[in-house]
Structure 1
Amino acid sequence: MFPLATDLAAGFTLSELTIALLVGSLILIVCVAAIRLSTRTGMPSLLIYLAVGLAVGEKGLGIGFESEQLTQVLGYAALILILAEGGLSTQWSGIRGAVGPALILSTVGVVVSVAVVATAGHYVLGWSWVTALLIGAILSSTDAAAVFAVLRNVPLPRRLTGMLEAEAGFNDAPVVILVTALSAYAAHTGEVISPLWMPFVAIAELAGGALIGLLVGYLGGRLMRLSAAGASGLFSIGIIAVTVLAYAVAASLHLSGFIATYLAALVLGNMGLPHRAAVHAFATGVGWLAQIGLFVLLGLLASPSGFPTQVVPALVIGLVLLILARPLSVVASTILFGYSRADRLFLSWAGLRGAVPVVLATVPVTAKARNVDWIYDLVFVLVVIFTLVQAPTLPWVARILGVTESHKAREMTVESTPMDDLGAQLLHVDIGPASHLHGVAIFELRLPDGADVALVVRHGQTMVPTGRTTLRHDDQLLVVCTNAARERTEKLLHSISTAGRLAGWSARPAKDRKRPGRPGRGTVGSVGDKAE
């Protein structure tokens, strides 16, 4: 058996460090290489990482790990970094219209989901009400990172991507509060909150955490802006430190640290700070490292011998969650916001469960609740089974429901400080097979002042277009635009792709219409790009 120090107080020798580094680096290399498998199969990488954790565990290579307490601590640390990365990479313009329904889905929707799952657990599986409510709460958090890992090549409209992004940022915080309170209640500790007071305590913790997050994010961003002249790598570390500070401040005041982290990162990501590309690249790397470490750790903690007895309960609860609880939550949260039936069906199917429920399954054990050791195995099995069912079918479901768009535009991260100095951004536009951008000449796009098509890639060949260059299906465009023109550029491309070349013509200000003879050229120096 490989030595693994789970009790730091017992010491950690140099020989143990060598073996830990050997095993850890090999695991990281395998997990990074597995991304290609995830991309080709459409399977979320979380399943691969969980499998790696199981493979090196007691039933595999023999690494013993049984500490729920350490798993919870490291799991929370990983979730902080994952939420920070999510907030920093989220554009406010992309989620602004979805904040209302996402907040309701993350609060009222969670209550609906917990109630439905708990009812099924109590009457169908015979669980006590406390246990049933606890499992319902644990399973009420979704993993939008898994959704986007599957759908990165499927162009979804803003109303859906914004909803999924906002839900991912918001729903962890209320779920953690609910699971912690129910675990304390099940353990009969002195910290039990009366069920009548629980909603008020949760609202107070969320509101206080949100205020702390907004304040720390804004003040931290202003402070970091003063130090922007330094190296971009050091600046990136400072930005991540601000998001972690938001969690620490909120948690020390007994407020929601998770909502504070996400909102602080969201504020920082939308302040127009310098070194934006470097910050995003660093945050993405930290987020991936946190996800890999978290999922491998969860796989290590799992005991395969306990899985068979939990398959039937996992199937029952999973089907209730997928077919009844999630759709009811989505309907209750979007009924006032004009979402179509197809949108609701897709949002219901896209409610993948991931790392958060598995981490939260350790909370009842660390809270000293009795007879709850089996909950971890149940949640683990459910997450694996229903990820296998939902994840590969998500692109197909999106196309069948008709919620995909005919083109896809995404921001390009460019490692070039002059882009910050010029206040410029790059957009990568894919022209899909049904897009009405096909046959449109560059000058007919009528891009606003401050935006131009710099490059066209067609069948693997690149060309610098002129105003007369005609676009074709499967073309990829590199659009350079100023910060001020970005939103108008995206809206215009979307409208033309959907309704044709005359879309929005009468509504466009004269100053934004380009003359037909104007060439569409643009140059970017020292570009090292990566699609987000």
Structure 2
Amino acid sequence: MPRKRWLARDVRELTRGAQEPGKGTPLTVHHLNQLLLVCSVVLLVAVAAVRISSRSGLPSLLVYLGIGIAMGQDGIGGIHFDNAELTQVIGYAALVVILAEGGLGTKWSEVRPVLPSAAVLALVGVAVSVGVTASAAHFLVGLEWRQALIIGAVVSSTDAAAVFSVLRKIPLPSRVTGALEAESGFNDAPVVILVVAFSSAGPVEHWQVLVGEIALELAIGAAIGLAVGWLGAWGLRHVALPASGLYPIAVMAIAVAAYAVGAIAHGSGFLAVYLASMVLGNAKLPHWPATRGFAEGLGWIAQIGMFVLLGLLVAPHELGDDIVPALVIGLALTMLARPLSVVLSLLPFRVPWQEQTLMSWAGLRGAVPIILATIPMVQGVDGSEEIFNIVFVLVVVYTLIQGPTLPWLAGKLRLGGDTAADLGIESAPLERLRGHLLSVGIPEGSRMHGVEVAELRLPAGAAVTLVVRDGTSFVPSPATVLRRGDELLVVATDPVRDAAERRLRAVGHGGKLAGWLGTDGPATGR
């Protein structure tokens, strides 16, 4: 039997066993070896594809979807996979990791000024988008109201993975980036509730009850997320773990626990994990660069696995009849629903029209709508396969259009952000000595270049004890001039740890005159 058919048969049997326990082939070491080989090859191909996508401007999610399609029943892999329920479960788990990674990378200093506008975008904007998109699907395409409302709800959520991966490569004003990242982290929660409601009972008769349920779930999720994040940050800052590698594991475990506790308490687990991660990400935890790198790696794995699995689930030969409806609905969503929701939501905040235009075009869709489209399939809604196909085509086509054109549009609108390099500061607690070791890297573009050690003017109780330059370490004198690429070891006592870090960041942004000419830089940072 050819290798391709043999592997496809094994995958089909294992999938059947996951869907119908007792009826599939049990997982053996032989199957595990094949599975590990396939997964490692897929990951390596996906990692190589990131470089191609970054050079071409093609969003990486489309590359991962393409890998899944190539492995599927219509591709060279010949793997038949149609388990929507398993896809939904794995997709939810991947989304938790992606939201956690996004929350850890969200700067509170950027989100805080735009928090009200982001919240309105995630609630009022979603409602406007659902109404307009569902109306277009009903009147222009001819779908029944139930199917139209499900599609409207599914595609009204901006995708966290797409937004995080695309926006952080574009130098935009912090208020635009902060609003879009916060919106993508917040709006998954109400959208999931809407999709589940529409899929279980069709159009809702008592809308006030549904609105009340959404508000209650969001309140519970927000409270649990903030509480878990604060408790986790407090614990990690006051307990010195025996190995630095335990801190990243603990941070991700706390974030996932926030989701689980929020969901079990009948709140929004997605909002809980995002808020808990945001609190942790802005708490100046020990060994932060290692934690950030670990979370970013997990986020990449979650994205790759989720998109490849979604690519496996789709059958390209069944998409033909749904291409035109998807293009029509996507056009209504992109050119009417999204801009209208942005304009109405931001009306009280006096946001410049250039930023509103960019935010309208930056409403990126990705894996989240496709995952949500599996909910009606699992619930057995009539026409659920058509819904899934329409959503899949819509996401692929309009992500292909919007993602690569965002930098061009930002340039045309003359929207550019501050590209000043920030310091990489890693903290390790010295519990018994009641102090901290701060490892400070001076990157390209930092204004700490050319500053003497004495000119840092660190608070009493903090001092630069070691400098590593070109692979050589030495104890600096007060007159030692710092250079780009230097690594500094700063010792600070417990009471002045935060003040020392603030001063280092201020010099990194404003140079030796930081604090005198209003060039302190960010008030908070990691």
TM-score bracket, normalised by the shorter chain, equals 0.7 to 0.9
Alignment of 1:62-461 (within 5 A): 62-186=78-202, 194-405=206-417, 407-410=419-422, 412=424, 421-423=436-438, 426=441, 428=443, 430=445, 449-450=457-458
For the pair 1:17 / 2:32, whether they are aligned, the reply is yes
- Distance in 1 (alpha carbons) for counterparts of 2:517 and 2:423: 28
What is the one-letter code of the residue matched to 2:337?
Answer: A
1:277 Cα shift? 1.8
8 A contact 1:169–1:262 mirrored in 2: yes
| Structure 1 contact 428–479 (Cα < 8 Å) conserved | no
Question: Are residues 1:43 and 2:55 paired?
Answer: no
1:112 CA drift (Å): 0.7
What is the CA distance between 1:478 and its match in structure 2?
9.4
Matched AA of 1:37:
I
Q: State the SS of the aligned residue for 1:392.
A: helix
Q: Residue 349 of structure 2 aligns to a residue in which SS?
A: coil
Amino acid of the structure 1 residue aligned with 2:63: I
TM-score between the two structures when normalised by the length of structure 2: 0.82
Report the Cα offset of residue 448 of structure 1: 7.6
* Counterparts of 1:506 and 1:227, CA distance in 2: 39
Q: Is the CA contact 2:84–2:374 (under 8 Å) kept in the aligned structure 1?
A: yes
| Residue correspondence of structure 1 range 2-13 to structure 2 within 5 A | 2=8, 3-4=10-11, 5-6=14-15, 7-8=17-18, 9=21, 10=24, 11-13=26-28
TM-superposed CA distance for 1:23, in Å, is 1.1
**Alignment gaps of 5+ in structure 2:** 471-475, 491-496
The answer to which of 121-130 and 404-413 deviates more is 404-413
Structure 2 residue matching 1:421: 3-state secondary structure: strand
Farther-moved stretch of structure 1 (477-486 vs 273-282): 477-486
Residue 429 of structure 1 contacts residue 478 of structure 1 at CA under 8 Å; is this kept in 2?
A: no
The 1:416/1:272 distance shift into structure 2, 3 A limit, reads: closer
Look up the SS of the partner of 1:196 in the other structure.
Answer: helix
Distance in 1, Cα, partners of 2:486 & 2:172 = 18
For residue 493 of structure 2, what is the aligned residue in structure 1?
none
Amino acid in structure 1 at the alignment position of 2:314: A
* Cα contact 2:73–2:79 (8 A) shared by 1: yes
Instruction: Describe the shift of the 1:412–1:493 C-alpha distance in structure 2 as closer, same or farther (beyond 3 A).
Output: closer
Q: 2:120 is paired with a residue of what secondary structure?
A: helix
* CA displacement 1:36-70 (0-9 Å, x = unmatched): 11111122110110000000011121111101100
**CA-atom RMSD in angstroms:** 3.6
CA distance 1:86–1:392, shift in 2 (3 Å):
same
Give CA-to-partner distance per residue, 1:259-310, whole Å, 9 cap, x none.
Answer: 0111111111222221212211111111111111000000000110122211
User: CA 1:441 to 1:273, structure 2 compared with 1: closer, same or farther past 3 Å?
Assistant: closer
Alignment-mate amino acid for residue 90 of structure 2: L
* Alignment check: 8 A CA contact 1:134 1:182 kept: yes
Q: 1:176 & 1:477 partners in 2: Cα distance?
A: 47
Segment drifting more, 356-365 vs 223-232 = 223-232
Distance change in 2, residues 1:290/1:508 (3 Å): closer
Q: How many residues align?
A: 483
